[in-house]
Amino acid sequence: MDFNENNATEAVLNSFARIEDKRLKQIMNSIITHLHQVVKEVEPTEEEWMKAIMFLTKTGQKCDDRRQEFILLSDVLGVSMLLDAINNRKSNEETETTVLGPFHAPSVKINNGDNIAKTVSGENCIVSGKITDVNNQPVSGASIEVWQSGPDGLYDVQKGDDIVDLRATLETLDDGSYMFRTVKPQYYPIPVDGPVGDLLQNLDRHPFRPAHIHFMVKSKGYKDLVTHVFIDGDKYLESDTVFAVKKSLIRKLEHGIDDESKEKCLLLNFDIVMEKE
């Protein structure tokens, strides 16, 4: 029988008959069923379909070693956060997770107390906290990878100069504590010079993310934790363009004195609770 509106989905699902990998078959079945349903609901014109084809094409072509426009697309459509929710269902009192984002990159090792701001300047800030398990026991020797944008709103990898900045890996001490120096993070727009930026404009959505520092914490025997700490009072906490804010991850910046330089600085405390594997 000829392929038509009524048998189209079935015809394509039938073409998957020889797939042996059950998981792949399940994924393809779900994608085809919903993709066809979108086409049936929306009834795109050939012109609209070509616009979609060109949008996806440009999104792929915007990607390179430093830029992942499809992850950005997944982020602004709430897909990354949905995936995060599904893959990190909370069972205990462990710290909540949030998106990895497109700016994770190779890091450099530092010692506790080091300053991760190498070339940028801004308001000095000391970030510290303690990593414990759900029974409040310290997790020593845990690896903490942190990365953030500078006061200009840019991550190092967006600058194209190969300098690793505002990005480092350190280890918790015996009592589970950690500390590093940096500059105060700022809210910033996601990169808008590509198809995702054009899309946000067409959707009449702003491109901003509230100020945050990314954390990826790993320790043997514990579940890897990917999260952010957000800064209380930021104007974009309620409308993060990638939907990644969770109230439990917001912390107040306090005013204090840096013990070493004896100068005024900001203090940000972020304790983390890890879950056993």
State the virtual CA torsion across 173, 178, 182, 186 in degrees, nearest 10. 150
Q: Smallest distance, Å, CB 193 to its own copies? A: 16
Instruction: State how far the Cα of 199 lies from the Cα of 76, in Å rounded to an integer.
Output: 10
Please report, in angstroms and rounded to a whole number, the separation of the first and last CA atoms in the chain: 53
CA gap 198, 79 in Å, rounded? 18
Nearer Cβ to its own copies (117/157): 157
Q: What is the dihedral of CA 166, 169, 172, 173, to 10 degrees?
A: -90
Closest distance to its own copies from the beta carbon of 91 (Å): 14
Q: How far apart are CA 195 and CA 57, in angstroms?
A: 9
Per DSSP (E only), the strands in the chain are 124-133, 143-147, 167-171, 177-183, 188-189, 208-209, 212-218, 225-231, 250-251, 253-257, 264-269, 272-274
Q: How far is the CB of 3 from its own copies (least distance, A)?
A: 5
Nearer of residues 67 and 179 to its own copies, judged by Cβ:
67
Nearer Cβ to its own copies, position 19 or 179?
A: 19
- Minimum CB separation of residue 254 from its own copies in Å reads 24
* Cα–Cα distance list, 86 to 35, 50, 79, 90, 249 (Å): 21, 33, 11, 10, 18
| Least distance (Å) between residue 263 CB and its own copies | 37
Select 80 or 182, whichever has its Cβ closest to its own copies: 80
Query: Least distance (Å) from its own copies to the CB of residue 89?
Result: 8
Q: Toward its own copies, which CB reaches closer, 248 or 261? A: 248
Which residue, 136, 174, 178, is CA-closest to 270?
Answer: 178
Whose Cβ is closer to its own copies: residue 61's or residue 92's?
61
Pairing of the two strands 124-133 and 264-269: parallel
Q: And the tokens for 189? A: 């727009």
Cα distance between residue 226 and residue 100, in whole Å? 6
Minimum gap (Å) between residue 15 Cβ and its own copies: 6
- Residue 100 or 117: the one with the smaller Cβ distance to its own copies is 100
